[in-house]
Amino acid sequence: MYTATAGVVLPTTIIGSLPRPGWYTQNLGSRDFREAMVDRVYREQYLDAVSVYMRDQEVAGLDIVTDGDCRFDADVAGHNWFSYAPLRMDGFAGARPYQVKGGLAGIPHKPGHILHDVLETRVMPDLVGPVGRGKLRYSAIWKAAQRQTKKAVKFGSITPELIAMAVRDLHYKDLRKAILAISDALNAELHELADAGCKVIQMEEPQIHLLAAKGLNDAVLNADFMVEVFNNTVRGLRAKTEVWCHTCWGNPAAQRLFATQPSYAPALEALNRVDADVITFESCSSGGMDLEAIGKRIRDKKVCIGVVDHHTLQVETPEQVAALVRKALEHIPAEHLVLASDCGMGREGMSRRHAFYKMVSIVLGTNLVRRELKLPEAHCLAGEPGYSMIEAEK
Ligand SMILES: [Zn+2]
């Protein structure tokens, strides 16, 4: 149900992660979040970091905020986005470095390429027993952020297939069974999160479009099963909260995973079947090439498009953002359109200032279009001329 985007036309947000402040030097490691929050130094740094993430988003004027994925460690290429869940869920143990044989990482890069580091630093536990929620602590993490703001805090979770594909399965010895077991465990965790009051939950990211782009269609890794897995993971949630499905074309170390930008077109029929209220599409990096196809196919859900690129340091101008929003409005009604970044901006990519001004551009660019449509504009404190420190020449 629409709980976070209800009542706002052209709401703005980001996908999730933000660059770490330099002083946020603590890491969770394999600790339970609740246990780490007993550590005075960790607790202070963590809560202060969440606070500055919130403030930056509020000063920019975003409508829906995130905790910046503050729980993830400062590691190579944002590895913890993959490893956070299996390091804490029941059924996983050990620390196995990625091996080429049997690996399903999908990043075939050779030494000398920055993405080779992504594989070299992929150390994941094995799947050794029945999967359970363990100590994911999603609701505690969300509460630590939501109690710092009145705006809705969007909480993101990795999808089960990405965990299953990244670990060695010594227990189920069956990829389909492993994926569904992780899916069931995540569903229980997400229900606790929704029951705690979280107004918007985002699943990151079903492999539907990536399988289509790679032409993969085997017995397990196929679009229909990925839709089944998504819908199983979020079953029952839309009666309680707003569910988002995040898709993009990759993020590790802010690198593109494809030499040429793939199209969403072959995946849209399947994506339209996910049990979600909003689907996000990486759109800025492609110049909005799929907007017409997205508008034609995705009719009964809201569409969130990226209007700033997470790969580049060049900050998009408000005029560039507005142009992409106008292009989207040719195919998607304003009541169904949400604006965001293409993906998270914090997985070892840009600086805090780059991310901040990209967020400001999302809001100022959307405001340009809101003005044209006579819609209420968001207050962007960062763009207030009266607060410039530069004095007029006398
Ligand atoms: Zn993404």
| CATH number, domain with residue 341 | 3.20.20.210
> What CA–CA distance (Å, rounded) separates 134 from 184?
12
Residue-averaged pLDDT of the chain: 95
pLDDT per residue as tens digits for the range 334-343: 999 999 999 9
Question: Rg of the Cα trace of the chain?
Answer: 20
- pLDDT in the model for residue 105: 55
> What CA–CA distance (Å, rounded) separates 211 from 208?
5
Q: Please check the confidence at residue 104 and state whether its pLDDT lies above 80.
A: no
How many whole angstroms from 392 Cα to the centroid of ligand 1?
43
Q: Is residue 100 one of the residues assigned to a domain?
A: yes
Q: Taking 70 as the threshold, does the pLDDT of residue 355 lie above it?
A: yes
Tell me the residue range of the domain where 203 lies: 33-383
**Number of domains the chain contains:** 1
Are 321 and 362 spatial neighbours (Cβ–Cβ below 8 Å)?
yes
Query: Is residue 382 predicted with pLDDT exceeding 90?
Result: yes
pLDDT digits (tens, 9 = 90+) for 106-137: 676 788 889 889 889 999 999 999 999 999 99
- Spacing, Cα 252 to ligand 1 middle (Å): 9
CA of 207 to the centre of ligand 1 (A): 11
Structure tokens at 232: 């199983």
Q: What pLDDT score was predicted for residue 108?
A: 66
Ligand 1: centre distance to CA 249 (Å): 7
Q: How many angstroms separate the alpha carbon of residue 338 from the centre of ligand 1?
A: 16
Query: Within a domain: residue 18?
Result: no
pLDDT band at 254 (very low <50, low <70, confident <90, very high): confident
Cα 388 to ligand 1 centre (Å): 34
Answer whether residue 259 shows pLDDT above 90.
no
- Residue 82 forms part of a structural domain: yes
Instruction: Report if residue 68 sits inside a domain.
Output: yes
**Mean pLDDT, range 267-271, rounded to an integer:** 96
Closest CA to 35 of 73, 78, 88, 86: 88
Nearest to 138 by CA among 188, 78, 179: 188
- Residue 281 CA to ligand 1 centre (angstroms): 9
**Residue 285 covered by a domain:** yes
Question: How far, in Å, from the CA of 40 to the mean position of ligand 1?
Answer: 32
pLDDT tens for each residue of 10-64: 999 999 999 999 999 999 999 999 999 999 999 999 999 999 999 999 999 999 9
- Amino acid 260: pLDDT: 86
Q: What is the mean pLDDT of residues 324-338?
A: 98
pLDDT of residue 394: 85
Q: Is this model's pTM higher than 0.95 or not?
A: yes
Ligand 1 centroid to residue 202 C-alpha, Å: 11
Give 24 Cα–ligand 1 centroid separation in angstroms: 23
Question: 167-192, pLDDT tens digit by residue?
Answer: 999 999 999 999 999 999 999 999 99
Summarize pLDDT for 134-154 with one digit per residue, the tens. Answer: 999 999 999 999 999 999 999
Residue 26 covered by a domain = no
- Residues recorded for the chain: 394
Distance 390 CA to ligand 1 centre (A): 38
Residue 178 Cα to ligand 1 midpoint, Å, equals: 23
DSSP 26-65: ---TT--HHHHTTSHHHHHHHHHHHHHHHHHHHHHT-SSE
Percent of the chain with pLDDT over 90: 87
Q: Does 61 fall in a domain? A: yes
Q: How far apart are CA 20 and CA 22, in angstroms?
A: 6
In a domain, 246, yes or no: yes
Whether residue 258 is predicted with pLDDT greater than 90 in this model: the reply is: no
- Per-residue pLDDT, averaged over 349-370, amounts to 97
How far does the centroid of ligand 1 lie from the alpha carbon of residue 341, in Å? 9
Reference 51, options 18, 27, 85; nearest CA is 18
Q: Are 68 and 16 contacting, i.e. CB atoms less than 8 angstroms apart?
A: yes
In the prediction, which pLDDT does 255 show?
A: 87
pLDDT of residue 200: 98
pLDDT band at 261 (very low <50, low <70, confident <90, very high): confident
pLDDT at 257: 85
How many angstroms is it from 25 CA to the middle of ligand 1?
24
- The reported pLDDT for the residue numbered 102 is 52
Residue 292 and residue 113: Cα distance in Å, rounded? 35
